[in-house]
């Protein structure tokens, strides 16, 4: 059954006889998630979005006192902070709440006073800002166990002390020797002007053994979501180092719509899905202008989900011959056809202003028509590898089959990798190896 009403509420079920409990958030049409009780059981904290059916809305931290039955907002979305918490935990003494948030493409560990909130004297404390940090628990007073990863380091365990200026202490070294023996690219941030002449952040990786006198191909990797980001992390499906280690310069733009760069920047893509492609094109142009060691005749683009949509959109909208080849993994061919087959109807109705059958949706200006990749099929020329999983219910396999059929009928060089056991992602280890070998071969 399609999900047309994603509202999630927090309920207090301390009265066992009232099996359904007392709904604490019935007046909020948005998502309420991650409920967690204080150590003494007297308070309940959770994350809250205000907007109905918008899964990437700005996030607040809410608090309910089970004794006084009072509601408090500890962190007011968009008022107190430009970023959104994505997890929440209590300190053992109940005085602090710890949470992580995507801040400028880093998963940052933060702390906030559980009584005074963001407006307290300590405000929002940043405990760990580099790389991608996950919180696991408090192992001693104000000493916390975390895991950390980055673009150059697989996940390891660390401890960190609140209020201490000393660096986090690494506790495990599972991959230290292997990483030291692996040729890794050097990641840097590359900023350029994108849509509306606004600054766009991207990651740029040079291949190992980089020689500025040589010419290198460039792999442009655009993330899915579209509300997401390519972060400073060791991703096991879209690992930027895989392409750098195989001799590519890697450009990964965090286009308009990406999380971690302010709520307005994130919202800019809703109803305007072409902006990700526009920012990608601007990033390629900026990189080619800035770095003479990138071979303009060997630029390739690849992505999954919204990134797959972007590959198809670029095929009909990018400057001629900008891309030598494209990879579309579980991407959209036609927005209307994907609307009628997705299991997440609310998402598309929120992004595009309603269902795909309304009078407005039939207008040429409707996003369903103006931003669908199939509109410019007659302009497609770039060779494309299409990948799709049979168990993908977000963007069903017919979108991949349609993309491949269109390429074949247009006489464009193309291949189709069909994964019967996979869903929206290639998760099986053996299939992942086939996926990577096929993509690199293409």
Three-state SS annotation for 69-138 = CCEEEEECECCCECCCECCCEECCCCCEEEEEEEECCEEEEEEEECCCHHHCCCCEEEEECCCEEEEEEE
Is the Cβ–Cβ distance between 155 and 176 less than 8 Å?
Answer: no
Can you point out the beta strands (E) in 228-306? 249-254, 294-304
Rounded to 5°, angle at Cα 206 from 228 and 268: 25
In the chain, DSSP finds a helix count (H) and a strand count (E) of 10, 22
Is the Cβ–Cβ distance between 103 and 129 less than 8 Å?
Answer: yes
**How many whole angstroms separate alpha carbon 221 and alpha carbon 203?**
10
- Alpha-carbon separation of residue 31 from 45, 224, 311 (angstroms): 14, 21, 31
* 392 included as an active-site residue: yes
* 71 included as an active-site residue: no
Residue for token digits 């096929």?
A: 438
Rounded to 5°, angle at Cα 350 from 349 and 356: 20
Distance of CA 203 to the CA centre of its chain: 14
* 305 included as an active-site residue: yes
**How many whole angstroms separate alpha carbon 168 and alpha carbon 158?**
6
Rounded to 5°, angle at Cα 397 from 392 and 399: 120
Catalytic residue among 223, 256, 263, 424: 424
Residue for token digits 């800002």?
A: 129
DSSP, collapsed to helix, strand or coil, labels residue 337 as: helix
Is the Cβ–Cβ distance between 63 and 94 less than 8 Å?
Answer: no
**How many whole angstroms separate alpha carbon 229 and alpha carbon 238?**
12
Catalytic residue among 91, 305, 366, 374: 305
Catalytic residue among 392, 402, 414, 425: 392
Which positions are catalytic? 305, 392, 424
């Amino acid at each position: 059954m399609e999900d047309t009403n994603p509202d999630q509420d927090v309920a207090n079920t301390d009265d066992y006889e009232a099996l359904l409990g007392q709904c604490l958030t019935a007046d909020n049409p948005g998502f309420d998630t991650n409920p967690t009780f204080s150590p003494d059981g007297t308070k309940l904290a959770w994350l809250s979005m205000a907007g109905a059916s918008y899964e990437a809305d700005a996030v607040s931290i809410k608090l309910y006192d089970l004794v006084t039955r009072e509601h408090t907002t500890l962190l007011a979305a968009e008022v107190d902070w430009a970023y959104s918490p994505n997890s929440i935990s209590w300190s053992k003494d109940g005085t602090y709440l710890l949470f992580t948030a995507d801040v400028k493409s880093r998963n940052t560990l933060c702390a906030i006073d559980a009584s005074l909130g963001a407006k307290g004297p300590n405000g929002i404390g940043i405990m760990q800002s580099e790389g991608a940090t996950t919180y696991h628990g408090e192992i001693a007073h104000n000493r916390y166990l975390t895991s950390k990863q980055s673009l150059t380091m697989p996940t390891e365990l660390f401890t960190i002390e609140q209020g201490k200026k000393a660096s986090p202490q690494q506790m495990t070294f599972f991959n230290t020797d292997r990483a030291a023996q692996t040729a890794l690219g050097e990641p840097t941030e590359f900023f350029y002007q994108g849509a509306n002449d606004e600054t766009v952040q991207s990651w740029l990786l040079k291949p190992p053994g980089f020689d500025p006198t040589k010419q290198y191909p460039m792999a442009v990797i655009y993330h899915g979501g579209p509300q997401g980001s390519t972060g400073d992390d060791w991703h096991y499906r879209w690992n930027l180092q895989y392409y750098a280690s195989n001799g590519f310069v890697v450009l990964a733009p965090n286009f308009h719509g990406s999380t971690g760069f302010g709520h307005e920047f994130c919202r800019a893509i809703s109803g305007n899905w072409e902006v990700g492609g526009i920012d990608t094109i601007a990033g390629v142009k900026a990189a080619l202008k800035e770095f003479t060691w990138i071979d303009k005749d060997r630029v390739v683009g690849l992505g999954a989900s919204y990134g797959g949509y972007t590959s198809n959109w670029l095929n009909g909208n990018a400057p001629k011959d900008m891309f030598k080849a494209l990879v579309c993994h579980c991407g959209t061919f036609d927005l209307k056809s994907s609307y009628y087959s997705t299991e997440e109807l609310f998402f598309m109705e929120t992004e595009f202003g309603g269902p795909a059958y309304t009078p407005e949706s039939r207008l040429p200006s409707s996003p369903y028509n103006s931003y669908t990749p199939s509109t410019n099929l007659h302009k497609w020329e770039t060779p494309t590898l299409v990948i799709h999983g049979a168990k993908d219910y977000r963007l069903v396999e017919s979108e991949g089959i349609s993309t491949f059929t269109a390429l074949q009928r247009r006489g464009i060089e193309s291949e189709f990798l069909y994964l019967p056991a996979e869903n929206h992602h290639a998760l099986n280890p053996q299939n992942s190896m086939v996926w990577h070998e096929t993509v690199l071969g293409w």
